Amino acid sequence: RDHRYYGSWKYWRQFLSSLGDRRRGSLLLAVSQLDKVLAGEVNNCDCEDLISNEFKKIKERSSGAISCTEALRLDYRPGSIADTIYRAKQALSKSTNEVAHSWWVPNSYETLSKIAQNVAKTKSANHELPILTRDELVHEINNFCERVPQSSALLGKLTTDPRLLQKAIEYMEAVGDVMQA
């Protein structure tokens, strides 16, 4: 809750995407419009069994990203909407807490954000647009690594691996530190 981006769903979605994997609890599966499905039951068709079986198949393929025991049921009938909202909030809170427990951001991402912010401040002070090319960013990372070699092991790898650098830039974009053009 103390993180500067606490409470922003867009931030969390972009953040998880920038890390490139699916955290435990990061997927929530819901079955929508049960009011229409259940109202249309014919010949005692057991929709609950169908839903449960399909959920189990999807969960097996989710590599642990789905941690709930059953699909969230979204029932929009007037008598059920309040309960549906309550259960949806509970499921989202549980999922967010699970993701937060396995949350890890490489320290180098935060260091890189500080480097980019410092360059932007310097450019602004010199009445320049705070636009930073990839080459300039790599140059600034190398300068930092030379000044502070003991705290820059992963940071140095960003300059030689374009995929790592891209993930770091996506992280900075997700937290609002930079914008890609």
Please give the average pLDDT of every successive group of 10 residues along the chain, which has 181 residues.
Answer: 54 57 67 63 63 82 78 85 90 79 70 89 90 89 87 78 84 76 62
How far CA 63 is from CA of 67, 100, 104, 113, in Å, comes to 10, 18, 18, 31
Q: Are 73 and 31 in contact (CB under 8 A)?
A: yes
Query: What is the pTM assigned to this prediction?
Result: 0.45
Question: What is the pLDDT at residue 139?
Answer: 93
Question: What is the pLDDT at residue 127?
Answer: 93
Question: What is the pLDDT at residue 140?
Answer: 92
Question: What is the pLDDT at residue 94?
Answer: 84
